Amino acid sequence: MEFGKIWRLIPGDGVFSETWRPGKLLITKERLLWYSFFDEALNLQIPLSKIADIKFMPGEDYSAKGKNILAITYKNPVMKAAYFSKRFGKEFQLQELKSLLNNSIKS
């Protein structure tokens, strides 16, 4: 299922700090996939069976302040987290995504 355009917080690397990047989120029967428009590449693959927690948290940086951020914690092989935001409205879609993922990891 294609979920559409969504922003992901990309972790910092070396001297570069973390930054929000636009991309496309896809959910298959087995994986959550995120394709980066910036890199024109698949930058995240999370097996649904590895997702440990899905929750909302408040955005705190300048571009997400006042927005809900969807935090997905997963094991790969240590615990990691991926953060997603709709940034420019349509936050109701994050609730739909959370519900869809919760249903997918239960089945």
Q: What is the pLDDT confidence band of residue 10, given thresholds at 50, 70 and 90?
A: confident
Reported as a single tens digit per residue, the pLDDT across 64-83 is 666 778 899 999 888 999 99
Give the sheet arrangement for strand 2-10, strand by strand.
41-47, 31-36, 19-27, 2-10, 79-85, 68-75, 51-58
Looking at the domain 2-106, which fold is it? PH-domain like (2.30.29)
pTM: 0.80
The two three-digit tokens of residue 22, written as one number = 């636009």
Using CA atoms, how far apart are residues 37 and 91, in angstroms rounded to an integer? 20
Task: Parse the chain into domains and list their residue ranges.
Answer: 2-106
Residue 94: the pLDDT is: 76
